[in-house]
Amino acid sequence: MMTVQPKTKEGCSTLHIAKILGRDHRTIKRFVAKSQQGQKKRVEKKRRKLTAKDLRRVKREATRNPLSSSAGIFRNCNLPGVPRSTRCSVLRDMAKVRKAEKRPPLNKTHKLKRQDWAKKYLKTDFSKVLWTDEMRVTLDGPDGWARGWISNGHKAPLRFRRQQGGGGVLDNAPSHASKYSTAWLASKGLKDDRKMTWPPSSPDINPIVNLWALLKREIYHEGKQYTSLNSVWEAVVAAARKVDRQQIKKLTDSMDGRLVTVIEKKGGYIGH
C-alpha cells in the first residue's frame, strides 16, 4: 500500500491504482480517504490565558460557593472556553474536592441531654454494651452527597439530616421503641436499668456508625454493584464476618474519648 500515495500524487484515480495493484477498488478508496484525513491540519482552538486577576476571581468564587463543580465556578467568573483539565489544574492549587458533612441539628436541649448522658456513662465498660442502629444499603452503591470543590483552609458545609429522637443504643426510633423490639430485649434480660436511653441527635457518639462505614467499604469495594436484594444481603453478611475482634475493640475503646469530647464541647457535635 506504500505505492498508493505516490500514485495519487501523480493524479492517478483510485480505480486505476486498484487495477495496477490488483486490489479491490473499495479498499484503495478507504486507504486514500484515511490518508487524506490524517493530512488535514488540526485547528487549534484558542485557549484563554488566565491572568492573576482571573485566578483571584476563581478563588473568591470557590470560597463563596463551596461544593460547586469546576465548570460552575469558571462559568460564574465569566471565564468560558477553559478546558476541564485546565480548570482542575488551577483549582488544585487553591482548593480540594470534598463532600458535605451530614449531621443532625442540635438545639440547646439536645446539648444538655448529651452532656448529662456523657457524664453518666463516662466510665462504663462499653465492650459489654449491645449497640443498635440501622444501616441502609442499595443495589447501586452507598448514598452520599455529590462532591465539589472547597477552598483550602475552609471546611465543607453541613447538610442537616433529621433524626427521630436519636441514633444509637435503644433510641426513640420506631424500630427500637416498638413492642416487638422491647419484648425481644426483655427476653434477653435487657430492660429497666440495663437499657441505655440514647441522647437525641447523637449518631456521632455511636461507634456502630463507624462499623457501618467499614462494612460499606467492603460491600462496595471497587465500585461493586448488585442486581438483587439477595446478592446485596449476602455481601452484607460476608462483610460482617470479615470484621475482626480488634476492630470492634478499637471502636468500643474510643467511647471514653468521645464522651470526654462531648463534655468539653458542652454537648456540641464531635464528628465521627
Q: Which amino acid is at 79?
A: L
Can you tell me the distance from the alpha carbon of 54 to that of 147, in angstroms, rounded to the nearest whole number? 24
Number of Cβ within 10 Å of residue 78's Cβ equals 8
98 bridge partner residues: 148
67 contacts: CB under 8 Å, gap ≥ 6: 98, 99, 100, 145, 146, 147, 148, 149, 150, 156, 157
Q: What is the pLDDT of residue 164?
A: 40
Domain map (residue ranges) of the chain:
4-39, 52-93, 104-264
List the chain pLDDT tens, one digit each, 272 residues.
446 555 555 667 777 777 777 777 777 778 777 776 655 555 555 556 889 999 999 999 999 888 888 999 999 999 988 998 899 999 999 988 877 666 778 899 999 999 999 999 988 888 888 887 777 888 877 665 456 677 777 776 655 544 443 333 455 555 566 677 778 777 877 777 777 888 888 888 889 888 988 998 899 887 788 889 999 999 999 999 999 989 999 999 999 999 999 999 999 988 75
Q: What is the pLDDT of residue 177?
A: 62
- Fold exhibited by the domain 104-264: Nucleotidyltransferase; domain 5 (3.30.420)
Q: What is the pLDDT of residue 156?
A: 65
Q: What is the pLDDT of residue 26?
A: 79
